[in-house]
Amino acid sequence: MNTQSQSTDDLRDLYRELILDHARSPRHFGKLESTSHQAEGINPLCGDKLRLYLKIDADQTISAVNFEGSGCAISVASASLLTETINGLSTERALDYYANVVYLLTGVDAANPEIRLDLGKLKALEGVREFPSRVKCATLAWHALHSAINNTNDTVSTE
Amino acid sequence: MNTQSQSTDDLRDLYRELILDHARSPRHFGKLESTSHQAEGINPLCGDKLRLYLKIDADQTISAVNFEGSGCAISVASASLLTETINGLSTERALDYYANVVYLLTGVDAANPEIRLDLGKLKALEGVREFPSRVKCATLAWHALHSAINNTNDTVSTE
Amino acid sequence: MTGRSAKKPTADASDWRGSFPALHQEINGHPLVYLDSAASSQQPAAVIAAVQTYQECSHANVHRGVHTLSHRATEAYESARDRIADFINASNRTEIVFTSGTTDSINLVAQSFCRPTLKPGDRIVISHLEHHSNIVPWQMLCEQTGAELVVASIDESGQVDVSEITDLLDERVKLFALAHVSNALGTVLPVKEIIGIAKTRGIPVLLDGAQAVPHLPVDVQDLDCDFYTFSGHKMFGPTGTGVLFGRESLLEAMPPYQGGGDMILEVSFEGTTYNDLPYKFEAGTPNIAGFVGLGAAVKYLQCIGMQRICQHEKELLEYMTMQLSEIQDIRLIGTAANKASVQSFMLADIHPHDVGTILDHQGVAIRTGHHCAMPVMEYFGIPGTARASLALYNTRDDVDALVAALHAAHKIFS
Amino acid sequence: MTGRSAKKPTADASDWRGSFPALHQEINGHPLVYLDSAASSQQPAAVIAAVQTYQECSHANVHRGVHTLSHRATEAYESARDRIADFINASNRTEIVFTSGTTDSINLVAQSFCRPTLKPGDRIVISHLEHHSNIVPWQMLCEQTGAELVVASIDESGQVDVSEITDLLDERVKLFALAHVSNALGTVLPVKEIIGIAKTRGIPVLLDGAQAVPHLPVDVQDLDCDFYTFSGHKMFGPTGTGVLFGRESLLEAMPPYQGGGDMILEVSFEGTTYNDLPYKFEAGTPNIAGFVGLGAAVKYLQCIGMQRICQHEKELLEYMTMQLSEIQDIRLIGTAANKASVQSFMLADIHPHDVGTILDHQGVAIRTGHHCAMPVMEYFGIPGTARASLALYNTRDDVDALVAALHAAHKIFS
Ligand SMILES: Cc1ncc(COP(=O)(O)O)c(C=O)c1O
Ligand SMILES: Cc1ncc(COP(=O)(O)O)c(C=O)c1O
């Protein structure tokens, strides 16, 4: 019974209220009409599939960001949190967030040299670290962001 | 030392004087010019390759038999003994010998109903039974005989 | 269903369960409840031991050696073939080709049986419920040859329509490739009836038996199919092993698939003579240890008897379906009348992946996602399902644990 | 040769020998002397245990599951890839494709790299000393495409001629496929030099490394080859495992070889998107347990160090060659200056098969026959050879037992 409730605690840590809220009501959801950059993220193993739309101005400011697609609570919430975070930022700063989220989730530095940001709400994702098989769900949108900004316009797969 | 000499005994039983003699000086060796039936036997795993030539008269008598090719002592001796045995016999009797030799070597009846013949010199092959990986060498020429008489003119493989 | 005979098989199953070391461990602080055998099954101790003993006492390369170990290895490998021929009632051991899995078996048929003669205008027919392994090889083949891939539809229950198939099977069709049991939905297809129809039109039929062989008695002569394919790792044997059963006359006429050692009689630069069946299709050193293990797995199954296993699983599947259907907001996917082993479902609007994680945290292993059957998911308009699949070692306790864990998932998301 | 450093490696080897359970048995009343590693090697206890533990604690299907066992299995399988990438110094793990063996790897390259673009007038070049697995796939390919197979000759020592090869490598050549080490003769080919020449002409090179990887340090970046193939069962790992290393840019451009699960991103009947490297080439459930074992084998080799193994075997091969050459009426086949592991020979006019039987009866396991290299046998005008092959676990005692057994054979036949 002890382990039972401990394990439920872990689960509550993964599915925090904030995550469930963003999963149920994703922000900036839907296709963006005038888009300058986009990328698709596929997690072939669980069927998550997101498309991220960015509008990047001449001065490298992200003036609009949306996503659409379907996925598990973790991937949708992570995408939703992403849109809230990066809207209005410079692409450079957005990539710093990308690197910080990947580091938070995997312990691997995606950027060099690393910059440590205060992740704010994004810290709600940290429960995912205890669930290695779900890390790819949480990073999916972020990898798509990286790909969109670098204009590879590619499909990113997190297998 | 006991096992050593026992194992040498087994080997002497396999490589009997008669076998070594036929291996060194195979009888009826060489291509037969006017042949009515022939077949090839291949043991792909050790490179034995024999071709058997038969002259079968209208009354089904085997009036000539030769073989050529190369192989280990067991397969060459067995082929040589075959030619000595079946020369002048009816094809039916030759097939009886085929069945008896296969039975001697494998314990499996190749004919139905079985006929038991006195195998004479062919009994020298019985030491092969103790060497399962060599049984196919000893049966190779006999399978070729079976194939030649049945006019399949095929390559027989003993894998 | 909970009637007279329900007790006995369940008792048997807990005995059988004892033979599977992997089932006796804790996962996340809970006893493992393994409901993912459709993806890959666990191995009885007898299989694990057979592989180990083989490696410790009998290993050498097969077919090509005079020394004792080579002879032992060859005997062990070839006797697995005899056992498998017997298990599926092939008329001859030469009809049993060893491959690396169902996928390899199907690709072999596509490339070696179909590709040399297929041309534009020809058709390959499959169904809408196939595993990707019985779709993609045919798509690739059609791209290579200009032939057309035609797909027989399914209904809401997850069953094919025999009269539609009857209409599809015209003279343009060069092969009909069909699952015996669907991995995503559990549907048992009316393969005997379909083969009967195909026969009258001279159309060869390949059955993908990956999900059938571990659960049902399979008799290829009774089915009268031309090709039958399955995987060792789904029938309690090792990964990296598979079988292609092929009718001898068809295999005989096919060119080899891969070139290499063992599949030849003679090699010279002027020309090469291929070996006899089944060796013509077994190029290179085979998975000797794997097939020794598969032979042991088949022996294990034969000792229990497929009829008994089938009966036990049938009752357990009915129990599971009933228990699941009582859960609030559950939607069962795959509701054909004749099913085996598998139940797919959606729980409320919780993504299957989340369901899987929550169950895993309670020790319950199920599979979630598209199950390599994306067209099925597309048909039902869902990204994937949660799928619980049974094998001989599962019991009602496993089902009860599944149901309890699903209630917990419901609670977290509400 | 019997000088200063001869003692130490021999002492090491008897320690290493202790790790191989199969070597500690009696055959026909004699301690086993295993001199057939070129056909297939024995496994250290660590490999046998890794496979067993995997089956007992970690098995499930890979890549597709959220539950704990599936995650464990995926980690175990993928970490074998990392280890192998490191072992042969690939620049990226995506360049390591898991196959069922060298034969499978070579067929993959023939069908997927060459077949789509090969046409009449094009050429594939191989050498006269190739294993059938590096001949027949090219013969089949040439038959399918109308291209021509060209064979570089060998000399009496069993070595290729670099200047002849230089002449052969013209613009018609679409691939040069060559053994790194010959299995029949033991010749180590001057592959680096040859690759250098091929590079300047833009001709891709495939190396068949089946006999190199267990004996020499192999560095694919240093070799600068485009494809490198080898088998697990010859390097102390399980049967049914193999590796294809391919340069990323080439693999990237190749269509998939087999269709099925895991090699796709998305499947629909309108069209299918293939997965990233290396998964594009790994259709179907892989040999998970096998690659877990192969990972353990590589770890075992890395702990000892390939340089040390190479040195030990080099000295032992020199010792064996010297001892053999002193036997009356022996003819050594394969006498190149640079050799590894293997010595083929003929004893008087005794057929190799008879030699093999007599040796086996004294516990000495060697291989006899054509060693899947019939053109080599044809070149030397012999039906086959007796072949003794060494691995890290062999010692001078093994060589001495071989020599004593050969004397006995001589006696029986004289
Ligand atoms: C040089 C060489 N190439 C290829 C092969 C084929 O390897 P496998 O049978 O493992 O596919 C072998 C061994 O049999 C070999 O020695
Ligand atoms: C119905 C069906 N067909 C084919 C396959 C492919 O089998 P494998 O991955 O063993 O090649 C599977 C399992 O994954 C399956 O369930």
Q: What is the pLDDT of residues C263-294, one digit of tens each?
A: 888 889 988 889 999 999 999 999 999 999 99
Cβ-Cβ contacts under 8 Å for D406 (sequence gap 6 or more): D324, D327, D330, D347, D355, D359
Does the beta carbon of D130 lie inside 6 Å of ligand 1?
Answer: no
pLDDT at residue A91 is higher than 80: yes
Bond preceding residue A26 cis, omega within 30 of 0: no
Coil, strand, or helix at residue D353? helix
Does the beta carbon of C134 lie inside 6 Å of ligand 2?
Answer: yes
pLDDT at residue B7 is higher than 80: no
* pLDDT confidence band for B42 (50 / 70 / 90): confident
pLDDT at residue A4 is higher than 70: no
Residue C328: is it exposed, middle or buried by C-beta count within 10 angstroms (0-12/13-18/19+)?
exposed
**Topology (CATH) of A3-157:** Sufe protein. Chain: A (3.90.1010)
Q: What chain A residue is nearest to C414 in terms of C-alpha separation?
A: A20
Residues C226 and C320 in one domain: no
How far is Cα B113 from Cα B102, in angstroms, rounded to an integer? 14
Region B84-98 average pLDDT: 96
Does the beta carbon of C210 lie inside 6 Å of ligand 2?
Answer: yes
- Whole-prediction pTM: 0.95
Q: What chain D residue is nearest to B16 in terms of C-alpha separation?
A: D412
Burial A9-18 (b: 16+ CB within 10 A, else e): eebebbbbeb
Residues C287 and C311 in one domain: no
- Say what the pLDDT of residue C271 is: 85
Region C133-162 average pLDDT: 98
**Pocket perturbation via mutation, ligand 1, pick of D231, D233, D367 by most ligand atoms within 8 A of CB:** D231
Residues C376 and C244 in one domain: no
Cβ-Cβ contacts under 8 Å for D44 (sequence gap 6 or more): D19, D20, D236, D297, D300
- Say what the pLDDT of residue B6 is: 52
Region A94-119 average pLDDT: 88
Residue contact B159–C63, C-beta within 8 A = yes
Residue B45 to chain C, least CA–CA distance (Å) = 5
Of the candidates D272, D302, D332, which is a domain's last residue? D302
- Say what the pLDDT of residue A9 is: 78
Of D381, D350, D380, which is closest to residue D368 (Cα–Cα)?
A: D350
Total structural domains within chain D: 2
Q: What is the pLDDT of residues D11-40, one digit of tens each?
A: 567 789 999 999 999 999 999 999 999 999
Residues D161 and D75 in one domain: yes
Q: What is the pLDDT of residues D156-197, one digit of tens each?
A: 999 999 999 999 999 999 999 999 999 999 999 999 999 999
Of the candidates C302, C332, C354, which is a domain's last residue? C302
Contact D51, C49 (CB under 8 A): no
Does the beta carbon of C103 lie inside 6 Å of ligand 2?
Answer: yes
Q: What chain C residue is nearest to A128 in terms of C-alpha separation?
A: C357
Q: What chain C residue is nearest to B133 in terms of C-alpha separation?
A: C66
**Pocket perturbation via mutation, ligand 1, pick of D372, D374, D387, D389 by most ligand atoms within 8 A of CB:** D372
pLDDT at residue B145 is higher than 70: yes
Residues D69 and D25 in one domain: no
Residue contact D273–A155, C-beta within 8 A = yes
> What ipTM was predicted for this assembly?
0.93
The Å distance, Cα C182 to ligand 2 centre, comes to 10
Does the beta carbon of C183 lie inside 6 Å of ligand 2?
Answer: yes
Q: Which amino acid is at D369?
A: G
pLDDT at residue A16 is higher than 50: yes
Residue C40 to chain A, least CA–CA distance (Å) = 16
pLDDT at residue C9 is higher than 50: no
C30 touches chain A (CB under 8 A): yes
Of the candidates C278, C302, C326, which is a domain's last residue? C302
- The whole-chain average pLDDT of chain D stands at 95
Residues C60 and C39 in one domain: no
Residues C270 and C342 in one domain: no
Does the beta carbon of D210 lie inside 6 Å of ligand 1?
Answer: yes
Whether C372 is catalytic is yes
Catalytic residue, chosen from D114, D225, D310, D372, is: D372
Contact C382, A32 (CB under 8 A): no
Region C141-164 average pLDDT: 98
Residues D268 and D172 in one domain: yes
* pLDDT confidence band for D265 (50 / 70 / 90): confident
Using CB atoms, pick whichever of D64, D66, D275 lies closest to residue A157.
Answer: D275
- Say what the pLDDT of residue C6 is: 43
Contact D208, D134 (CB under 8 A): yes
Residues C16 and C52 in one domain: no
Residue contact D132–C286, C-beta within 8 A = no
Q: How many CB pairs under 8 A join B and D?
A: 64
Query: Are D and B neighbours with ≥3 CB pairs closer than 8 A?
Result: yes
Residue contact D42–C59, C-beta within 8 A = yes
The Å distance, Cα C230 to ligand 2 centre, comes to 8
Instruction: Give C-chain residues touching D39 at CB under 8 angstroms.
Output: 60-61, 64-65, 70
Find which of A7, A10, A45, A70 to mutate to test the D interface (most D CBs within 10 Å of its CB): A45
pLDDT at residue D2 is higher than 50: no
Nearest-atom index, ligand 2, CA of C231: 10
Domain containing residue C53: CATH number: 3.40.640.10
Residues D157 and D292 in one domain: yes
Domain boundaries, chain A: 3-157
Residue contact A12–C412, C-beta within 8 A = yes
Domain containing residue D37: CATH number: 3.90.1150.10
The two tokens of residue A152 are 């590879």
**Percent residues over pLDDT 90 in chain D:** 91
In this complex, the chains that touch B, judged by 3 or more CB pairs closer than 8 A, are C, D
Does the beta carbon of D101 lie inside 6 Å of ligand 1?
Answer: yes
Residues C165 and C191 in one domain: yes
Residues C53 and C176 in one domain: yes
Ligand nearest to the CA of C283: 1
Range of the domain at D352: 2-44+306-413
- Say what the pLDDT of residue D63 is: 83
Region C308-320 average pLDDT: 98
